[in-house]
């Protein structure tokens, strides 16, 4: 399975969206250099309030561009970086990958840890959007706002880079909220 990088983003501030840049540097064990969520310990505000000593399983946020097209068909206008992802991808069904899958982007290696849990801030961005990225289906919550990962190997990621997916050994464990 392979895909490509559509765009890359970072923000030094804790804000909803991230700024699109030419390249981002990923640092093993820490995340995106210069991003507010970079660190070995959890950096997301809600997680810090719960337990600041937790390991940061949300060092890198990846989102599939195909979601933006799906949302556009429902009347929403969303583009790369606007929902806070660091890497926007194309051609990979990120949400269906099992926990522990790895994404190789050039020299960079990212291990997937779980699903992003979308929050109410999404409705502040565009009213009604939260119900489209966190919806009930057959009695269970389906999270569609991307996946989270940790950086295993450092390096630079740019728009247009190829992404190669490797599945973990053993029975697949579905991604859960992190």
- The per-residue pLDDT for 70 is 97
Share of the chain above pLDDT 70, in %: 100
Whole-number Å distance between alpha carbons of 77 and 56: 30
Q: How far is CA 14 from each of CA 18, 38, 84, 149, rounded to the nearest angstrom?
A: 9, 11, 10, 18
Q: Which residue has the higher pLDDT, 87 or 44?
A: 87
List alpha helices for 6-94, DSSP H.
45-50, 65-73
pLDDT at 44 over 90: no
Tokens for 127, please give them: 């009213």
Whole-number Å distance between alpha carbons of 63 and 89: 6
Tokens for 112, please give them: 């997937």
CB-side exposure of 41: number of CA atoms within 13 Å? 9
DSSP 34: T
DSSP 96: G
pLDDT at 133 over 90: yes
- The per-residue pLDDT for 119 is 85
Whole-number Å distance between alpha carbons of 116 and 67: 14
Q: Check if the beta carbon of residue 83 is closer than 8 Å to that of residue 61.
A: no
Residue range 78-91: mean pLDDT, rounded: 97
Whole-number Å distance between alpha carbons of 110 and 90: 16
CB atoms within 10 A of CB 46: 9
Least confident of 84-93, 105-114, 133-142: 133-142
The sheet with strand 155-158 has its strands ordered as 31-32, 23-27, 155-158
* 3-class state of residue 89 by DSSP: strand
Q: Check if the beta carbon of residue 41 is closer than 8 Å to that of residue 52.
A: yes
- The per-residue pLDDT for 1 is 81
pLDDT at 86 over 90: yes
In this prediction the pTM is: 0.96
Q: Is the dihedral of CA 146, 151, 156, 160 positive or negative?
A: negative
């Amino acid at each position: 399975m392979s895909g490509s990088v559509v765009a890359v983003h970072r923000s030094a501030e804790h804000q909803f969206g991230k700024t699109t840049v030419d390249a981002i540097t990923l640092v093993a064990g820490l995340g995106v250099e210069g991003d507010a969520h970079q660190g070995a310990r959890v950096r997301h505000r809600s997680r810090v309030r719960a337990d600041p000593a937790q390991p940061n399983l949300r060092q890198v946020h990846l989102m599939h561009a195909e979601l933006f097209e799906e949302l556009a068909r429902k009347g929403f206008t969303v583009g790369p970086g606007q929902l806070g992802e660091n890497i926007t991808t194309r051609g990979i069904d990120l949400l269906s990958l099992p926990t522990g899958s790895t994404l190789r982007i050039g020299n960079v290696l990212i291990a997937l840890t779980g699903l992003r849990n979308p929050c109410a801030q999404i409705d502040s961005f565009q009213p009604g959007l939260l119900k489209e990225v966190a919806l009930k289906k057959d009695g269970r919550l389906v999270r569609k706002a991307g996946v989270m990962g940790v950086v295993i190997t450092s390096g630079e990621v740019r728009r247009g880079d190829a992404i190669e997916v490797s599945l973990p050994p053993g029975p697949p464990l579905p991604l859960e909220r992190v």
